[in-house]
């Protein structure tokens, strides 16, 4: 018997493959229904969104997006008729509900806060993380294992437990409800992930490159800059995306430590209300806009995901 046939004995049969495929596809389809529903709801009108039975086929509308970006006031039909022609799609949609646009909503500033805080903290975490990871990877650091465990252990604290003293500390320092305060906090949380992930990536780069570069006359710092960093770009990019996703998605700290000027999107989106309760199409619109960047990143990261979620423990 040849080796190839011995192998095929172990390989799953065509039938078992087919059954496995059907179950997996079914699970995948069911599990993305809530996400498709968010997307669909964002294009419904408020009455359509709360219809019974839930509407699968409906007339698409931009009302959810209009409501997300604006604040509106109720007016009499006479007043609305006295206005000139509608200036845009949103103006027209809103007028049908006897409302006029009063101004922009807080969504854009909150979204911008999310961007500033996520990118700011990611930059700091990856910068500090790369330096530390290189230090741990290449030098004999006394108590290295203890320090690495200390760095990781800070990640295990329940966020609310950390938030109590941080709340008091920030109140003393005037960092409450500031972007700087949130960037510092998210950097501290993310740096543990960055150090662990990047140490794994840098460990994989052979030391000989730097040693050779140094023999060619580079200093250690130049060798780090010119040979290690260029080879670690994939690892650094993957780490940055993981940090970005964490900071982007974070809710507990943001909800407890920000209330106004520095509030990010996650605590803001659940507070979007219309007349008589939650404005679900507007919430869905905000959620859709908020989730799209993450979807893109997930697809980009799909081959590094395993490494990221296990702090570099499992590398495939």
Task: Kindly tell me which of 35 and 112 has the beta carbon lying closer to other proteins.
Answer: 35
Task: Kindly tell me which of 94 and 194 has the beta carbon lying closer to other proteins.
Answer: 194
Task: Kindly tell me which of 89 and 309 has the beta carbon lying closer to other proteins.
Answer: 309
Distance of CA 137 to the CA centre of its chain: 28
| DSSP state letter for 155 | G
- Give SS3 for 256: helix
| Least Å from the CB of residue 70 to other proteins | 21
CA distance linking residue 127 with residue 194, whole number of Å:
9
| Least Å from the CB of residue 174 to other proteins | 14
| Least Å from the CB of residue 165 to other proteins | 3
Task: Kindly tell me which of 61 and 287 has the beta carbon lying closer to other proteins.
Answer: 287
Task: Kindly tell me which of 86 and 147 has the beta carbon lying closer to other proteins.
Answer: 147
Task: Kindly tell me which of 99 and 282 has the beta carbon lying closer to other proteins.
Answer: 282
Is there a contact between 66 and 45 (Cβ–Cβ < 8 Å)? no
Q: What is the 3-state secondary structure (H, E, C) of 50-98?
A: CCCCCCCCCCCCCHHHHHHHEEEEECCHHHHHHCCCCCCHHHHHHHHCC
The CB density around residue 179, as the number of other CB atoms within 10 Å, is 18
CA angle 191, 197, 201 (to 5 degrees): 135
| Least Å from the CB of residue 34 to other proteins | 6
Is there a contact between 73 and 102 (Cβ–Cβ < 8 Å)? yes
| Least Å from the CB of residue 311 to other proteins | 8
The position carrying tokens 């530390």 is 132
| Least Å from the CB of residue 61 to other proteins | 17
């Amino acid at each position: 018997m040849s080796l190839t046939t011995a192998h095929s004995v172990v390989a799953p049969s065509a039938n078992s493959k087919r059954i496995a495929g059907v179950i997996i596809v079914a699970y995948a389809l069911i599990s993305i229904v809530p996400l498709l529903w968010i997307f669909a709801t964002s294009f419904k009108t408020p009455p359509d969104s709360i219809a019974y039975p839930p509407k699968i086929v409906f007339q698409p509308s931009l009302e959810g997006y209009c409501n997300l970006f604006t604040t509106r006031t109720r007016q009499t039909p006479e007043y609305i008729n006295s206005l000139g022609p509608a200036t845009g799609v949103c103006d027209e949609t809103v007028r049908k509900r006897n409302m006029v646009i009063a101004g922009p909503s807080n969504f854009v500033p909150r979204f911008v806060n999310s961007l500033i805080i996520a990118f700011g903290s990611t930059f700091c975490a990856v910068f500090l993380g790369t330096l530390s990871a290189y230090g741990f990877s290449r030098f004999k650091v006394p108590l290295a294992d203890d320090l690495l465990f200390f760095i990781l252990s800070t990640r295990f604290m329940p966020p609310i437990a950390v938030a109590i003293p941080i709340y008091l500390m920030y109140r003393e320092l005037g960092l409450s409800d500031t972007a700087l305060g949130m960037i510092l906090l998210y950097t501290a949380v993310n740096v543990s992930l960055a150090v662990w992930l990047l140490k794994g990536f840098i460990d994989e780069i052979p030391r000989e490159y730097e040693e050779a570069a140094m023999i060619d006359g580079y200093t250690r710092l130049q060798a780090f800059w010119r040979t290690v960093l260029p080879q670690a770009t994939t690892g650094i990019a993957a780490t940055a995306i993981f940090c970005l996703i964490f900071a982007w998605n974070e809710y507990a700290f943001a909800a407890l430590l920000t209330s106004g000027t520095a509030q990010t999107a996650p605590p803001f989106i659940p507070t979007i209300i219309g007349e008589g309760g939650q404005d679900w199409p507007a919430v869905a619109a905000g959620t859709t806009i908020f989730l799209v960047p993450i979807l893109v990143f997930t697809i980009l990261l799909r081959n590094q995901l395993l490494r990221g979620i296990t702090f570099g423990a499992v590398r495939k």
